[in-house]
Structure 1
């Protein structure tokens, strides 16, 4: 039986993101928010840290799920890109 699914969003208008298992979404989302709560990271650093955190307990492609959830969090304005070189990701502050 398939578990509950979530339709993820994409930050670019007109693009649709994937439907994924809600349980996997929550695991990856929690990790991304926890990682970015500590520091701003480049895409590579974020994905490497995510992989290191969940590789022993997560079933599925960590990088694929990480990218899908990262895009969704960007679209929901939970995280944002810094616009610097190299570009980094950070939690979006509520006063923006």
Structure 2
């Protein structure tokens, strides 16, 4: 039986369960992308993270974009990343905890 983690939605909506290994791969990829690129749009985050998973030939079952979205929401709820709005666009970046 595979280990699962319950993901949290930042608005308190019902979360989902995800395979821990899949979560760890996506969490690492998202944090790496935001470290390298800084503040990026939602579309850029999904596209770049998905491309990194494919480029690095990481085995992945399911829709990468959907899973990236849920891990992103979980990271927001845990205070690791933040969303900001500028000129009617949402941007995501690492949260500066200083």
Q: 1:87 and 1:76 mapped to 2: Cα distance?
A: 19
Match of 2:15 in 1: 17
- Structure 1: gaps of 5 or more residues: none
Match of 2:53 in 1: 54
Match of 2:86 in 1: 84
Match of 2:73 in 1: 71
Q: What count of residue pairs does the alignment treat as equivalent? A: 93
Q: Which has the higher strand share?
A: 2
TM-superposed CA distance for 1:84, in Å, is 1.6
Which portions of structure 1, spanning 4 or more consecutive aligned residues, are displaced by more than 3 angstroms?
Answer: none
- Structure 2: gaps of 5 or more residues: none
TM-superposed CA distance for 1:58, in Å, is 3.3
Q: 1:92 and 1:83 mapped to 2: Cα distance?
A: 14
Q: Which has the higher helix share?
A: 2
Q: 1:68 and 1:49 mapped to 2: Cα distance?
A: 16
TM-superposed CA distance for 1:44, in Å, is 0.2
TM-score scaled by length of structure 1: 0.91
- CA deviation map 1:21-46 (0-9, x unaligned): 00000000000000001221100000
- CA deviation map 1:43-82 (0-9, x unaligned): 0000000111002323122111101100000111100002
Q: 1:8 and 1:43 mapped to 2: Cα distance?
A: 19
